Structures are given as structure tokens and as C-alpha cells.
Amino acid sequence: MIDLGALVARIQVDSGDSTQQLENFSGKVENADGKSVGLKDALKKLAAGFAIGAAIKKTADAVVDCVKKADELKQSFNTLQTQTGATDTEMEGLEQSLKNIYANNYGESFEDIATAMAEVKNQTGLAGDELEDMTENAIALRDTFGYEVQESTRAADMMMKQFGITSEEAFNLIAQGSQYGLDKNGNLLDSINEYSVHFEQLGFSAEDMFNVFHDGAMEGVFDIDKVGDAFKEFGIRVKDGSDTTNEAFSILGLNAQEMQDKFSQGGESAQEAYWKVTEALNSIDDPVQRNIAGVNLFGTMWEDVGDKAILGAMEMSDYFNGTVDTMNQIKEIKYDSLGNAFQGVGRQMEVGLMIPLGEKLLPKLNEFANYIQENMPSIQETFQGIMDNVGAAITFVTDNLNIIIPILAGAVAGFVAFNVINTVIPLFTAVQTAITGTTTVQAALNAVMAANPFGVIVTAIGLLVAAGVALYMNWDTVKQKCEELFAKISEVWENIKTTISTKVEEIKTAIHDKIQDFKNAGKAIFTGVWDGIKEVWENIKKWVQDTVDWLTDKLTFWRKSKSEMSEDDDDSDGSHRNGLSYVPFDGYKSILHKGEMVLTQAEADRYRNGENGGSKTENFIVNIEKVENSNGRTTGDLMREMEFYRKSKKLATGGV
């Protein structure tokens, strides 16, 4: 639906371009023999009217900006107070410090400055000018080297407390260290925090610590943390009174107890002892003795860093100086640009003009907001009455649209055409009168009138109004056709969805079947492979078992053979596997075999009776009156025992 009211307003307001064109045209006429003085004055008045409107708009925008800036500042105050826990009285000074830092063009916003100030205040407890200076330095260091405000503030605060220097000097040293490349491994601030206390105990200043870091790095130490760790170890060992430390002092030709006392006192006394140790270490010609002393005093760091690097660092150059105004030099260069200059001027105006104005307006706006909140029931009641009347009017209009719309459309179209014609035509009439006789300008005017842009505008408005009225008056028909079209589209869409859904299910089923086939095939392959592996494994096990059994048999045979050979090789007088008929002398050594029998001399004599006359036959008669077979032996058993006895006798007599 066309918003006719907005359309009329657009025609009346969006005349800026036409006015500019008329002003340009007026300039041309003024150059044409000065005949357009009247038109020029008229256009100047018209331009002045638009200028006043623009000025009013800009003024309103400026007021809004003032309020917005004041509100942003108030929010940053809230952040600062909540993060620091400052009282309302303390906040008066903190608020002014925040404004001063913003006006000096530091920080990205009020909120950024508030967060940085809270960090600095919480770590250092500073206030006033010192808090402002340290916050500005922390922000400048962040903008230049990328250090977070929290980290740089902690390192600066550590040096302030350990070495008794100012925040300005601390930040100057950090900036100088960064410029000399001490943060190449990203741990300069961590090294400051960790080793400041140990350097201070040795009587060093903050500058001395930075010079040691620098000289160690110049000697090739890849990480200043290693240098700091070496001097930390040194500071511990020179006071521990251990045997290794005493040995080191002895090698250096120094009194161990005296050195220990001086280092324990710290300050100038520790510095005096330090330089004595440095001089003594450098004067040792024997590298072995120097290495022993170095390891005893610096621990493993002497070996990790190297004696050259440590001795070089101990010499301590003078590259660093906290009193050199490095931070201000950085600020002058870092923020020296036209953009920063304009930004700084803008911030000065915000703090000096806009914010005070906004701070005056904010209470009134808050009062208005509070009034609305407190009186919301009565306001709602009043508004409801108005809306009831408006609703009645709307109901009347909607009930009589068939009558009202044609009348309203005609009236608006006529009003628009009337305003356009009565506003533009007199202007061109004045132009025509003023420049009559000027050929060039007259030709231009004729061209403009021939183009008749006003007629085009009026016609377009009429067409739009007619189209809107026609659409509304035939809305039921249009609505019906739209519903039919939508129903048809819905039907087609349902068919498309059904078709797509069917195809998707078919694809899913096919994919699932294929996946199942692959799974079955893979399972069969795996089962076959596994059965084959098990069969091979059983064969391997059988082969190993057979091999082990074979080796066992061979080893048993070898051991038995070896035993027999060892026995055969003994210093015996004979083995006599086939027996021995007579032992030739006392002390005769013989090797006995399993199953053999040894007889005494008397037994042997009885068996040998008749040995020199050849064979001897003994006949004897055994009368058996009674046989008692208590153990159930048979005659065969008895015969076998007698045969065994005969063979045993034969063996005992050496085979005779």
C-alpha cells in the first residue's frame, strides 16, 4: 500500500537538489548582463531557509553527540570505580585523571582508558599525576611494542619496588630494552619480574641488570632468561657457605668467609665483592681451574651459557640509562601525524565543550525518564483514551472505504499537482521575465520548459495514486487470484517434495545395500585371512615343537656321549665293557657300567675254581620235598630267576 502522506512529505522535503540546480542556474543568469537580480535574491532567501533547516538538524545532532559522549564517560567512570573499589571521594580525582588522559589523545576510548587506569592503580596504588603519567606510558608502550598494560605495569612496578626508581625511569628502561632487541624471545618482561630481586641482592641497579642482559645477548646467549638464571644461581651460591663455594673462592685466591659476609650485606659491600670475583675469574690462566671455580659459583649455567658469555656479562657495559627520556621521545614520534593532531583537537573539544554540555543535559533526561517511569499508569490511561478515539475513527474509515478512498485519492493528487504547479511555474515566469532578450539563456530556458519535468512528476503521481486505488478497490479479486496461485504452487511443491523424498529413500536404500554387501565381503575376507593365519600359526607351533624335541634329543645324546667320552678319557686302567677275568694288582682303576656286578676276592675265587684246567662242570641233585609258593610265582618265574643267576655269575667271572 502506498503511504500518501509520506509521498507528499517527500515531495516537499526532497527539494534540495532542485534548489541547488536553480542556484547554479541563477549564477549563470547573473553572468548574463546582470538581468536576474530579482531571481538571485529570491534564490538566496530560499537557500537561506534550507541552510537554517540544515543548521537546526546539525545542532540537534551535536546535542545528541554531547549526550552520547557524556553517557560513555559516565559508563567508563562506573568501570573504573567497580574495578578499583574507589570511594565517591576518590572517584572525583580519578574522573579528572581519566578526562586528562583522554584529552591528551591516549587510549582508544573512555572505556579503554578506564580499564588501563584500574590496572595501574590496583598494582601500584598511585593516584593523581603519577597515575596519569604511568597510565599514559603503559598505553604508549602498548601502542608501540604490543605489551599488554597489565604485563608492562607489573614489570615496571617490580623495578620501582626493588630498585627504588620512578615509573618514568622503569618505562624508559623497558623501552630501551625493547629497542636493543632484548625481547626477541618475548620474555623481557618476565625476566624483569623474575630476576630483579636477585640482581638487587647483589647490589646491582636496574640499569646494571639491563646491561647484564644486553652484554650476555651480545656474547651470543640465545635467551636473556639464561643470563638471568646464571646470576640468580651466583647470588645464591656465594652466600651458602658450601664446600664447593669455598673451593671456588680458594681457587680465586679469596677468603671464603669474607666474601660470604660481603655478599650477605648486599648494597655497596656486595658490589665490592662482586668485582673482586669478576677480576679473579678473568685472571685465572688455567682453563681447568677457571672452569671448576665457574661451575662451583654459577652451577650448570656456567656450562650452558659458556664462560665467555658469563665473563662478558660480568664486565657490565653502560648502554642503559633510566633518566634518558625515552618514553617522551617515543610519544613525540608515535603520535606525530595529521590524523592524531585532528583527533587530539577533537578530544579537547569533547572534554572542554561537548561533555560538560552533555553532563548538564543528562540529569534532565534522567529526570524525564524517571517521570515517565513513575507516571506510566496515568500516561497509559491517557494514551488509551486517545487510542480509543483513534480506533473509533479508524473503524469509521474502514467501514466507509468505498466512499473515502476515491475522494482522498483525488484530493491528494489535486493537492500535489496544485502545489507543484504553483511553486515552480512562478519561478520560471520570473526567470523568463528577468532574462528576456538574452539569447543564450532564453534558449536554455526553452529547453527546460520543453522537457517539462514538472508535468512528468505530476503524471507519475497521478498514475501511482490511480494504481493504488485500483489495487485496493479490486483487492478481493486480487486476493482470490493470489490464493489460487498459492494453492497451485503448494500443490506443485508437494509433488516436488514427494518425488524428491522418494528418490532420496531409494538412494539411501541402495547405499545401505551396497554398504552391507561391502561389509559381508569384508567379513568373509577377514574370516578367511584369519583362518589362514591360525592354520599357519598352528603349523609354526608344530614345527617349533618338533624342532625343540629334536634339539632336546640331540643335546641329551651329546651330553651322554660327552659323559662317556669323559669317563673313557679318565686316567683309569681300563673300562672292560666285556668283563675282566682277574684284577692284576691292588689299586686297579676301572670304569663300571650300568648293570655290572663287583665280587669280592673270596667270591671270585669260588667262581674261578677250575679256571686253569679249562671248563668245569658241576653236577648236583636237588631234592625238593615240599614247595611253598607263598607269593604265587610259577615254575617259569623260577626258571627265569635261575637263568638270571647263571648269567650274573658268568659276568662276574669275566665271561668264563
- For residue 164, what pLDDT is reported? 96
Determine the average pLDDT of the residues in 361-366.
66
What is the full DSSP assignment across 70-98? HHHHHHHHHHHHHHHT--HHHHHHHHHHH
CA 275 – CA 202 distance, rounded (Å)? 11
- For residue 391, what pLDDT is reported? 66
Q: Does residue 278 have a pLDDT over 90?
A: yes
CA 122 – CA 149 distance, rounded (Å)? 12
- For residue 472, what pLDDT is reported? 56
CA 128 – CA 631 distance, rounded (Å)? 128
Contact between 431 and 32 under an 8 Å Cβ cutoff? The reply is: no
Determine the average pLDDT of the residues in 523-528.
72
Q: Using one digit for the tens of pLDDT, what is the confidence trace for 489-515?
A: 777 677 777 877 787 787 778 777 767
Q: Does residue 295 have a pLDDT over 70?
A: yes
Least confident range from 49-58, 93-102, 266-275, 636-645: namely 49-58
Each as own residue / partner, the long-range contacts of residues 153-156 (CB below 8 Å, 24 or more positions apart, any chain) are: 153/119, 153/120, 153/123, 153/124, 154/123, 154/189, 154/193, 155/188, 155/189, 155/192, 155/193
Which of 307, 244, 305 lies closest to 278, judged by CA?
A: 307
- For residue 497, what pLDDT is reported? 74
Contact between 328 and 344 under an 8 Å Cβ cutoff? The reply is: no
CA 215 – CA 177 distance, rounded (Å)? 12
More confident call, 193 vs 611: 193
- For residue 375, what pLDDT is reported? 76
Q: Using one digit for the tens of pLDDT, what is the confidence trace for 100-119?
A: 999 999 999 999 999 999 99
DSSP state of 354: I
Q: Using one digit for the tens of pLDDT, what is the confidence trace for 597-626?
A: 787 878 777 777 755 444 445 554 555 555
Contact between 216 and 180 under an 8 Å Cβ cutoff? The reply is: no
What is the full DSSP assignment across 174-215? HHHHHHTTTTTTS-HHHHHHHHHHHHHHTT--HHHHHHHHHH
The beta strands (E) that lie in 134-281 are given as none
CA 218 – CA 216 distance, rounded (Å)? 5
More confident call, 491 vs 407: 491
Q: Does residue 393 have a pLDDT over 70?
A: no
DSSP state of 618: -
CA 594 – CA 152 distance, rounded (Å)? 98
Sequence-distant (≥ 6) Cβ neighbours of residue 380 within 8 angstroms: none
Q: Does residue 9 have a pLDDT over 90?
A: no
- For residue 401, what pLDDT is reported? 59
Sequence-distant (≥ 6) Cβ neighbours of residue 354 within 8 angstroms: 62, 65, 66, 69, 70
Rg over alpha carbons for the chain, rounded to the nearest Å, is 59
Contact between 327 and 136 under an 8 Å Cβ cutoff? The reply is: no
More confident call, 437 vs 24: 24
- Alpha carbon distances (Å) from 97 to 82, 102, 113, 168, 180: 16, 9, 10, 17, 33
Least confident range from 84-98, 304-318, 411-425: namely 411-425
- For residue 220, what pLDDT is reported? 86
Determine the average pLDDT of the residues in 341-368.
73
More confident call, 633 vs 442: 633
More confident call, 544 vs 212: 212
Contact between 502 and 495 under an 8 Å Cβ cutoff? The reply is: no
More confident call, 654 vs 70: 70
Least confident range from 328-332, 359-363, 619-623: namely 619-623
CA 561 – CA 538 distance, rounded (Å)? 34
Please give the distance of CA 426 from its chain centroid, rounded to a whole number: 72
What is the full DSSP assignment across 388-405? HHHHHHHHHHHHTHHHHH
Determine the average pLDDT of the residues in 513-526.
72
The residue type of 597 is: M
More confident call, 121 vs 439: 121
Determine the average pLDDT of the residues in 33-59.
56
- For residue 57, what pLDDT is reported? 61
Contact between 117 and 103 under an 8 Å Cβ cutoff? The reply is: no
Q: What is the average pLDDT value for the chain, to the nearest integer?
A: 76
Least confident range from 154-163, 318-327, 494-503: namely 494-503
- For residue 22, what pLDDT is reported? 46
More confident call, 553 vs 559: 553
The backbone region for 594, taken as left when phi is positive above 0, alpha when psi lies in -120 to 50, beta otherwise, is: beta
- For residue 557, what pLDDT is reported? 59
Per-residue confidence at 585, pLDDT binned at 50, 70, 90? confident
Length of the chain as a residue count: 656
Q: Does residue 85 have a pLDDT over 60?
A: yes
Percent of the chain with pLDDT over 90: 36
